């Protein structure tokens, strides 16, 4: 199985190819730096993303507070995380940078104050 995609580590946007046999990475080509290689392998074996959303807040100037995960989350866990976030409700005051919840050991940080 060969995976082809554009590397997003930097603006160069290399076209990388990752060769996988029996669930193991056996070769990466097309990258021009070690960071790209590392990213490409992770992208195939365990892709992760920082996730953002908004959570309702009571008593703030705006009706929502925006949040993000403090670290990237495995891609296949994202729907579960979104369902968790959908149940959250906050109360003002909330500070930018405040940890407003935790999910499976991952901190959920407010990115807007209220």
Partner 1 sequence: MFPRIPMLNYDVVVIGGGPAGMAAAVRAKELGLKVLLLDENDHLGGILPQCIHPGFGLHYFREELTGPEFAARLARKMVELGVEYKTAARVLEIKNYSDLEKVVVFTSPSGAYGVWARAVIYAAGARERHAFEIGIVGDRVSGVYTAGEAQTLMDIYGIMPGREVVIVGSGDVGLIMARRFALEGAKVKAVIELMPYPGGLARNVIILRDFDIPLYLSHKVVEVRGRGRVERVKVVKVDENLNEIPGSEFWIEADTLIISAGLVPNVKKLTAIGVEIDPSTGGPVVNDRLETSVPGIFVAGNALLINDLVDYVAEQGELAAEGAREFIENGGIGSRKWVKVEKGENVRLLAPHYLSGDRDVYLYLRVARPMEDVELRIPEIGKKMKLPVVKPAEMLRVKLKAEEIRKAEKLTVEVVRV
> Which spans of this chain sit near partner 1 (rule: CB under 8 A)?
5-8, 11-13, 47, 49-54, 56, 61-64, 66, 68, 75, 78, 82, 96-97, 111-113
Burial label for 110, CB within 10 Å (0-12, 13-18, 19+), is: buried
Two structure tokens written together for 104? 């499976």
Nearer to partner 1, 56 or 100 (CB): 56
Nearer to partner 1, 22 or 97 (CB): 97
Q: Is the CB of residue 31 less than 8 Å from the CB of residue 37?
A: yes
CB of 55 to partner 1, least distance (A): 8
For partner 1, the closer CB: 10 or 22:
10
């Amino acid at each position: 199985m060969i995976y082809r995609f554009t590397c997003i580590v930097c603006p160069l946007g290399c076209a990388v190819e990752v060769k996988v046999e029996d669930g193991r990475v056996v070769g990466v080509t097309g990258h021009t730096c070690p960071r790209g290689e590392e990213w490409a392998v992770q992208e195939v074996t365990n892709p992760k993303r920082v996730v953002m959303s908004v959570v309702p807040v009571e008593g703030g100037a705006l009706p929502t507070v925006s949040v993000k995960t403090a670290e990237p989350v495995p891609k296949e866990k994202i729907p579960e995380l979104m369902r968790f976030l959908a149940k959250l409700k906050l109360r003002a005051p909330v500070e930018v940078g405040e940890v407003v919840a935790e999910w499976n050991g991952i901190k959920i940080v407010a990115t807007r104050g209220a």
